[in-house]
């Protein structure tokens, strides 16, 4: 009996929260405590939308569509969730301050859609009011020789209540003018009180329709609209590009059978027009002591005021004009920063987790909020652990309050084992974007502890400035949680030998992978030992632990508790001799992983033996890995790339180490391109290779900006430390910085986007886009803030 009880407890440990003081109290983000950030554009996965920082917040959003497709075989495409397949020429925030306002631009095939918002957070007790404006016009950049015909299109503005968290009394009701025009939505929710949303358009030549319905889940909104649209007569107005006189319209009230209209939770106002159009959306809390609505000229004035403040703050923080950047570069930097800030979302929900003790059973983590940046609004608009450490290097420079709050939210996700799940898939909208097999998070899997990068800055702030009470109190609260998190790495990711470390989560039995992926390291398919074993040791993780133990030792000193064990670990991990014993290859003169390895691996299609008369299968079997050599324990020093740079990247190398010189020289000889450092040298056996028949190379050549950020920042560091390689570092720094900035900028201008990776041959943006997670660190690189 006792044994089974014990087992049950073990099974549940993975989803047991750490029961010490929370970083973010349950009401801390609500309007009553923090009105300034209650409302915001916290839905980074949609082109434009607003919600609040409360669990199961009501959401406002926008969709748009062409009334008639250019070709009949293309299905009607309603723009809503950011998606690469929409093929927008560009979209993103041009300005966003993380608090008060934002200006967003989206350029579709024949028109551009500007959407902006301004908040007035302190009006009343419920988080105040905001106004948003949507302007649709012909794309300004079209060639005059190629005038676009006015397009018949629809903008759809909606509000929805999250059915997952529906509470008693929460409601939305329509106020119509005429038969079909939804001009106002009135609503009530416990956090918002009574409110209304008014939707006004200045243009006359428009047709109105609406939808009042029930959505069973927030990820259904697009499909519900698509299914509800019906062909209608335009009533004499001519349409273009499609059937004369007809268009697609929402049908009005359409509740699921048996459900009363009072149960409606999804209300849509459809405005059909030929460009241009201007719509004003006013959210107003009804308890307010507001003097007047934020509308028309008053709105414009407020927007301009915020833009001016944004510009001022930007100049203060980044001083780019002092660095000889012209206006176009500065505009680019402002937009890139704004996309990082406008990408910040507020999520609420439960991860699905498992552990060794739970034997793979899918268990729900506790329901929790997460305020976080996201790497990419189109492809993965959700939180990723090691991405977020990088994000906050930039976010923290802009406004440290945002970083304290983001880091606080993340650390409230620590469980009793000290683990934080790597990928945060919270809420219906987030979950709907992730295929089933990727949702489960395993507690044996870590991810680089990059939060120590922005935390180191806060520690430095606090040490430099005794008046920094805000920083000090934050660290005091965080420290107990950090101890658990840090210990998790020591306890679960250590290697067999003393002061070695090993990423868990490599799969030694998958027959399709050329090299078993190390997703936990963040570098996914970057080549490691061909045969994962417990004897492996990973040099990147060892360096991450050197950084982490150093920050922990500093914190212990600040708070006057014994720093002994952290300081000892740190000293050991910083000891270049020990590092050399474990990871330096005399043969190839480079730092490297150690493990059971052979380069003689290939993907081959298994032969299909056919019985006489048997027909070959229509789908040939997938290629599998074939090992032609005998693996042996060794340093993985036959290829060169990001992993070999880590002792430099994280500044573990002593400034006078000859290995520093060697590393800089190799970096220049093997990884250098005109666009930044490539992830893997060209003559590496795995360079450019697929990892399975269907997985193309990812970290096998392409240029990644997070690693390049670490490289420039480390080179800058070594260029200012006294030592024989100072000038070597300075020269590399200068050139690498220029290469990175120039190419990311050029690509932004020619493609409209900042990208996940850059091609090492052509410099071209690759992978998911827009990717204004760590690639946005180009702003820090421009400003030389590391």
User: How many residues belong to the site for ligand 6A9 (CB under 6 A)?
Assistant: 12
Give the residue, chosen from 256, 313, 364, 438, that forms a contact with ligand 6A9 under the rule CB under 6 A.
Answer: 438
Pairing of strands 423-424, 383-384: antiparallel
For residue 695, the SS3 value is strand
Please identify, using beta-carbon distances, which residue of 187 and 522 lies nearer to ligand 6A9: 522
For residue 109, the SS3 value is coil
Alpha-carbon distance 128 to 122, whole Å? 5
Please identify, using beta-carbon distances, which residue of 130 and 386 lies nearer to ligand 6A9: 386
Contact 699, 679 (CB under 8 A): yes
Peptide bond into 735 cis (omega under 30): no
| Residue window 294-323: x/- pattern of binding to ligand 6A9, with contact defined by CB under 6 A | ------------------------------
CB of 422 to ligand 6A9, least distance (A): 8
Marked catalytic residue, from 129, 554, 637, 756: 756
Please identify, using beta-carbon distances, which residue of 269 and 450 lies nearer to ligand 6A9: 450
Window 524-563: residues binding ligand 6A9 (CB under 6 A): 524
Residue 448 interacts with ligand 6A9 (CB under 6 A)? no
Give the residue, chosen from 165, 375, 427, 454, that forms a contact with ligand 6A9 under the rule CB under 6 A.
Answer: 375
Please identify, using beta-carbon distances, which residue of 347 and 566 lies nearer to ligand 6A9: 347
* Residue 604 designated active-site: no
| Residue window 69-98: x/- pattern of binding to ligand 6A9, with contact defined by CB under 6 A | ------------------------------
Marked catalytic residue, from 524, 535, 575, 746: 524
CB of 377 to ligand 6A9, least distance (A): 12
Please identify, using beta-carbon distances, which residue of 563 and 691 lies nearer to ligand 6A9: 691
Site stretch for ligand 6A9 (CB under 6 A), options 301-309, 434-442, 488-496, 634-642: 434-442
For residue 277, the SS3 value is strand
Site stretch for ligand 6A9 (CB under 6 A), options 223-231, 379-387, 681-689, 721-729: 379-387
CB of 421 to ligand 6A9, least distance (A): 13
Please identify, using beta-carbon distances, which residue of 434 and 497 lies nearer to ligand 6A9: 434
**Residue 278: which H helix or E strand, with range?**
strand 277-285
Please identify, using beta-carbon distances, which residue of 6 and 438 lies nearer to ligand 6A9: 438
Q: What is the largest CA-CA distance in the chain?
A: 88
Q: Tally Cβ neighbours within 10 Å of residue 220.
A: 18
How far does the chain reach from its first CA to its final CA, in angstroms?
A: 57
**Tokens describing residue 351:** 């991860």
Contact 669, 645 (CB under 8 A): no
Contact 696, 690 (CB under 8 A): yes
Task: Give the CB-nearest residue to ligand 6A9.
Answer: 375
* Residue 656 designated active-site: no
Strand partners for 270: 156, 209
Pairing of strands 246-249, 345-349: unpaired
CB of 447 to ligand 6A9, least distance (A): 7
Residue 513 interacts with ligand 6A9 (CB under 6 A)? no
Question: Would you call 367 exposed, middle or buried from its count of C-beta atoms within 10 A (0-12, 13-18, 19+)?
Answer: middle
Alpha-carbon distance 7 to 11, whole Å? 6
Please identify, using beta-carbon distances, which residue of 386 and 489 lies nearer to ligand 6A9: 386
Contact 124, 284 (CB under 8 A): no
Q: Where are the alpha helices (DSSP H) in 416-559?
A: 428-431, 452-464, 469-492, 539-558
> 444 to each of 113, 210, 417, 418, 524, how far by Cα in Å?
45, 50, 10, 11, 16
Give the residue, chosen from 387, 412, 417, 513, that forms a contact with ligand 6A9 under the rule CB under 6 A.
Answer: 387
CB of 439 to ligand 6A9, least distance (A): 9
Chain CA centroid to CA 725, Å: 36
Site stretch for ligand 6A9 (CB under 6 A), options 103-111, 382-390, 550-558, 561-569: 382-390
Site stretch for ligand 6A9 (CB under 6 A), options 32-40, 49-57, 378-386, 721-729: 378-386
Give the residue, chosen from 92, 522, 532, 765, that forms a contact with ligand 6A9 under the rule CB under 6 A.
Answer: 522
Alpha-carbon distance 660 to 673, whole Å? 20
Alpha-carbon distance 434 to 419, whole Å? 22
Site stretch for ligand 6A9 (CB under 6 A), options 381-389, 550-558, 675-683, 730-738: 381-389
For residue 470, the SS3 value is helix
Contact 239, 187 (CB under 8 A): no
Residue 755 interacts with ligand 6A9 (CB under 6 A)? no
For residue 398, the SS3 value is helix
CB of 686 to ligand 6A9, least distance (A): 15
Residue 384 interacts with ligand 6A9 (CB under 6 A)? yes
Residues that bind ligand 6A9 (CB under 6 A): 375, 380, 384, 386-387, 433-435, 438, 522, 524, 773
Residue positions annotated with a catalytic role: 524, 756
């Amino acid at each position: 009996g006792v044994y089974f009880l014990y087992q049950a407890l073990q099974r549940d440990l993975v989803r047991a929260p750490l029961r010490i003081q929370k970083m973010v109290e349950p009401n801390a983000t609500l309007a009553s405590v923090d009105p300034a950030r209650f409302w915001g554009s916290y839905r980074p996965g949609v082109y434009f939308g607003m919600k609040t920082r409360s669990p199961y917040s009501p959401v406002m959003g926008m969709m748009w569509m062409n009334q008639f497709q250019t070709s009949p075989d293309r299905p009607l495409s309603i723009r809503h969730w950011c998606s690469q397949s929409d093929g927008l020429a560009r979209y993103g925030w041009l300005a966003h301050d993380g608090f008060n306002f934002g200006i967003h631009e989206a350029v579709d095939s024949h028109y551009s859609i500007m959407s902006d918002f301004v908040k007035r957070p302190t009006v009343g007790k419920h988080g105040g009011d905001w106004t948003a404006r949507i302007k649709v016009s012909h794309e300004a950049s079209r060639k005059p020789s190629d005038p676009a015909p006015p397009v018949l299109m629809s903008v759809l503005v909606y509000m929805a209540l999250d059915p997952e968290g529906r509470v008693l009394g929460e409601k939305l009701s329509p106020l119509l003018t005429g038969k079909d025009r939804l001009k106002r939505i009135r609503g009530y929710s416990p956090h918002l009180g009574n409110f209304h949303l008014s939707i006004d358009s200045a243009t006359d030549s428009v047709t109105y329709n609406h939808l009042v319905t029930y959505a069973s889940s927030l990820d259904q909104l697009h499909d519900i609209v698509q299914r509800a649209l019906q062909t209608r007569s335009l009533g004499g107005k001519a349409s273009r590009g499609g059937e004369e006189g007809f268009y697609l319209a929402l049908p009005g009230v359409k509740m699921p059978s048996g459900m009363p209209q009072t149960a409606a939770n999804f209300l849509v106002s459809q405005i059909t027009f030929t460009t241009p159009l201007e719509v004003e959306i006013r959210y107003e809390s009804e308890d307010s002591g507001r003097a007047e609505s934020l509308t028309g000229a008053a709105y414009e004035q407020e927007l301009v005021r915020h833009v001016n403040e944004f510009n001022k703050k930007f100049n203060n923080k980044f001083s780019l004009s002092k660095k000889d950047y012209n206006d176009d570069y500065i505009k680019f930097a402002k937009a890139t920063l704004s996309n990082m800030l406008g990408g910040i979302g507020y999520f609420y929900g439960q991860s699905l987790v498992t552990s060794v003790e739970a034997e793979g059973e899918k268990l729900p983590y506790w329901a929790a909020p997460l305020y976080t940046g996201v790497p990419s609004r189109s492809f993965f608009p959700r939180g990723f652990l090691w991405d977020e450490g990088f994000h906050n290097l930039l976010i923290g420079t802009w406004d440290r309050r945002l970083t304290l709050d983001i880091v606080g939210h993340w650390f409230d996700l620590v469980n009793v084992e000290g683990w934080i799940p790597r990928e945060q898939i919270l809420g219906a909208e987030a979950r709907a974007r992730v295929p089933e097999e990727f949702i489960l998070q395993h507690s044996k899997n870590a991810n680089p502890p990059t939060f120590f990068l922005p935390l180191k800055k806060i520690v430095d702030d606090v040490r430099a400035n005794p008046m920094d009470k805000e920083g000090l109190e934050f660290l005091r609260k965080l420290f107990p949680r950090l101890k658990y998190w840090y210990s998790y790495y020591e306890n679960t990711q250590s290697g067999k030998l003393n002061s070695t470390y090993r990423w868990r989560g490599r799969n030694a039995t998958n027959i399709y992978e050329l090299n078993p992926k190390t997703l936990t390291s963040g570098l996914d398919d970057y080549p490691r030992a061909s045969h994962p074993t417990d004897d492996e040791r990973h040099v990147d993780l060892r360096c991450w632990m050197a950084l982490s133990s150093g920050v922990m030792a500093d914190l212990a000193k600040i708070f006057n508790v014994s720093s002994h064990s952290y300081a000892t670990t740190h000293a050991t991990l910083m000891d270049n001799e020990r590092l050399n014993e474990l990871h330096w290859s005399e043969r190839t003169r480079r730092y490297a992983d150690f493990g059971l390895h052979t380069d003689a691996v290939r993907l081959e299609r298994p032969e299909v033996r056919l019985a006489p008369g048997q027909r070959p299968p229509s789908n040939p079997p997938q290629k599998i890995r074939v090992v032609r050599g005998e693996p042996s324990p060794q340093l993985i020093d036959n290829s060169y790339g990001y992993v070999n740079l880590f002792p430099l990247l994280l500044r573990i190398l002593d400034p006078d180490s000859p290995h520093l010189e060697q590393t800089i020289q190799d970096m220049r000889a093997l990884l250098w391109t005109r666009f930044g450092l490539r992830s893997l040298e060209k003559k590496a056996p795995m360079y450019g290779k697929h990892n399975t028949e269907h997985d193309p190379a990812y970290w096998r050549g392409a240029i990644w900006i997070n690693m390049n950020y670490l490289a420039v920042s480390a080179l800058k560091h070594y260029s200012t430390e006294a030592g024989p390689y100072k000038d070597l570092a300075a020269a590399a720094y200068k050139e690498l910085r220029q290469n990175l900035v120039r190419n990311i900028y050029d690509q932004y201008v020619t493609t409209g986007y900042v990208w996940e990776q850059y091609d090492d041959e052509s410099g071209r943006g690759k992978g998911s886009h827009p990717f204004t997670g760590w690639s946005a660190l180009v702003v820090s690189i421009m400003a030389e803030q590391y």
